[in-house]
Structure 1
Amino acid sequence: MNWIGWTVFGIGGMVAVVAGLAAFGSSRWAGTTQVQMALLEAARVPAPAGMNKVYDARELDGLPTPVQRYFRAVLKDGQPFISAATFDFAGTFNMSATGEQWKNFTSTQRAVTRRPGFLWNGRVVMLPGLVAHVHDSYIAGEGRLHAAMLGLFTVAEVQGGGEIARGELMRYFAEAIWYPTALLPSQGVRWEAVDDSSAKATLEDGPITLTLLFRFDETGLITSVHADARGVGVGKDMVMLPWEGRVSSYQLHGGMMVPARSEAAYLRPEGRRPYFIGNLTSMVYEFSS
């Protein structure tokens, strides 16, 4: 065999090894996902006895005007309260904090409303045949981020309370736009008037209290969510930066209007830097019964 043959043979062997690792890693990651999903389900709590299980528009009385417009735009009277949602996204993710390294991703996320929690299971294509698997979650009051190349080799992992948990609960709260009955006052959210096109909302879970600014368009739909400070990793450190999520292209799912397109960005001193652009590809709801 000449050198060309040996080269082809070597490349073929490397491809086979990577493919084998990818298959093994995907299987192992699926098992880890099942464990995390079981923890999410175990942390759920029932609604208080006697609580209504459907939306009653009378609970909007006294809310800020743009908030009332929002709920009237996205919900119909009698809409069952959402207990869980499972939804898929596809889009691009910027892997660089300072440059432009956009990579394609697909993800499946499950969110539960009592106790607030979610598990995001993402698959980011770093190179052809080279995939990073990512878990991002808020479960039983703890935040967690775990990324592993091929599902085998950990490249990032943080878990715990404090700012980690706060940042993940913030994600749950901002993404309640996709499970909008969770934003109702009867579900524990307090709304405060700001002006004709924005309002502040506050959510508590355990020791964490969060307030986010929601902005609305003239039809009542939410267009953006803003946090004054959210933690982001810079090297080995975590720094606090303003954060913003933008949503658009509302569609009807489960009898409710929810956005089909979203973008997330940190507002850095040098300017706004988006890091996530996603499109909703499927949505399945579970309702209180």
Structure 2
Amino acid sequence: MAYLGVVVVLLVAAVLAMQAWRLTDNSAMEKAWTWLQSQAPASVEAFDPAMVEGLPDAARRYFLYTIAPGTPLHLVSEIHMSGEIGLGTKEAPGYRPMRARQILAPPHGFIWRLERAGAGLMQMSGSDGMANGRSWTRFWLNATLPVARAGGDENHLRASFGRAVAEAAFWAPAALLPQHGACWEETGEPNLARAIITHGTLEQAIEIAVAENGQPRWVQFQRWSNANPEKAWRLQPFGGYLGDFQNFEGFTLPTQVEAGNHFGTEAYLPFFRVRVEEVRFPVPKS
């Protein structure tokens, strides 16, 4: 009996320790979310097509499609989404239904807050993010067991910055305007726009394929990643397809997105397939 009592005490202590760890994760995420919200400027100018007159034609058309004249140029977006995430391989993706919220404040970072993925006893939650010069991946099974933890190093930060920049092309196009530091280059292809974004020591180039009317069709970039059989950090293609564009306060943004590693190759696996339900633009509290 005494032995059983010790086991019970140890199990309770372990559960309480895990819960305290999870609460610490949540607290850190909430603070980072608030910090990213604070990166939204207190006042914003309105979009004038003259702002993009000197850009390469594909880039100019991209902005004229995604931002209507007179639209306040919000730099921070909050997105509510649902869809599927694939946790397996190309042959067996293992898609799980999910719901998530995201804040996107390029180039400062993002937080993708997974509220729920999977069902029953196999529900996963947690967050993936970058803020204030740090990045992390922290996911939990049934809010009790840590199942994925990474970050705190330059490799992870570089990979996270790539995501922040690429998703700006999805849901925060104002952050890619030249007056905010993006450098747009000629590509030699009439329907391909290319931008380079820097933030401190970080740099990321992205390419956006656009239709004749400027609607972005897909985004791709060389991402620093270890999502490969060797688990080695290296540059490899990442990207996604965009669809079902809708208007959000003057921004025309995709509400259907699929994305994944090895974009444009036979190994491409769209592990991220979402439907956007809402996009809003936070304003700092006075």
TM-score range for the pair, normalised by the shorter chain length: 0.7 to 0.9
The 1:200–1:159 alpha-carbon spacing in structure 2 relative to 1, beyond 3 Å, is same
| Alpha-carbon shift at residue 204 of structure 1 (Å) | 0.8
For the residue of structure 1 that corresponds to 2:207, the secondary structure is strand
Q: 2:246 aligns with which of 243, 251, 274?
A: 251
Distance of 1:171 and 1:35 partners within structure 2: 20
Aligned residues with identical type, % of pairs? 19
RMSD of equivalent CA atoms: 2.8
Aligned equivalent of 2:220: 226
8 Å contact 1:266–1:274 — kept in the other structure?
yes
The 1:117–1:94 alpha-carbon spacing in structure 2 relative to 1, beyond 3 Å, is same
Distance of 1:200 and 1:281 partners within structure 2: 28
Partner amino acid, structure 1, of 2:155: E
Moved more, 140-149 or 38-47: 38-47
For the residue of structure 2 that corresponds to 1:33, the secondary structure is helix
1:89 paired to 2:61: no
- Equivalent residue runs for 1:130-279 within 5 Å: 130-176=122-168, 177-194=170-187, 195-234=189-228, 237-240=231-234, 241-267=236-262, 270-279=266-275
User: What are the superposed Cα offsets for residues 94-137 of structure 1, whole Å, 9 maximum, x if unpaired?
Assistant: 10134321111100111224x62211111343342431113110
| Alpha-carbon shift at residue 66 of structure 1 (Å) | 1.1
Moved more, 260-269 or 98-107: 260-269
8 Å contact 1:141–1:161 — kept in the other structure?
no
| Alpha-carbon shift at residue 276 of structure 1 (Å) | 1.0
User: What are the superposed Cα offsets for residues 123-174 of structure 1, whole Å, 9 maximum, x if unpaired?
Assistant: 3433424311131101112221111111221111111242211111111111
Q: 2:45 aligns with which of 48, 53, 59?
A: 53
Between structures 1 and 2, the one with greater strand share: 1
Note the residue ranges of structure 2 that are not aligned, 5 or more in a row.
1-14
The 1:28–1:91 alpha-carbon spacing in structure 2 relative to 1, beyond 3 Å, is farther
- Equivalent residue runs for 1:73-152 within 5 Å: 73-98=65-90, 99-113=92-106, 116-152=108-144
Note the residue ranges of structure 1 that are not aligned, 5 or more in a row.
1-20
The 1:46–1:108 alpha-carbon spacing in structure 2 relative to 1, beyond 3 Å, is closer
How many residues were matched structurally?
Answer: 263
For the residue of structure 1 that corresponds to 2:269, the secondary structure is strand
| Alpha-carbon shift at residue 239 of structure 1 (Å) | 4.1
Partner amino acid, structure 2, of 1:110: I
Distance of 1:125 and 1:107 partners within structure 2: 9
8 Å contact 2:227–2:261 — kept in the other structure?
no
**TM-score for both structures, normalised by structure 1:** 0.81
The 1:247–1:271 alpha-carbon spacing in structure 2 relative to 1, beyond 3 Å, is same
The 1:30–1:80 alpha-carbon spacing in structure 2 relative to 1, beyond 3 Å, is farther
8 Å contact 1:230–1:243 — kept in the other structure?
no
The 1:254–1:30 alpha-carbon spacing in structure 2 relative to 1, beyond 3 Å, is farther
| Alpha-carbon shift at residue 45 of structure 1 (Å) | 4.9
Distance of 2:193 and 2:252 partners within structure 1: 19
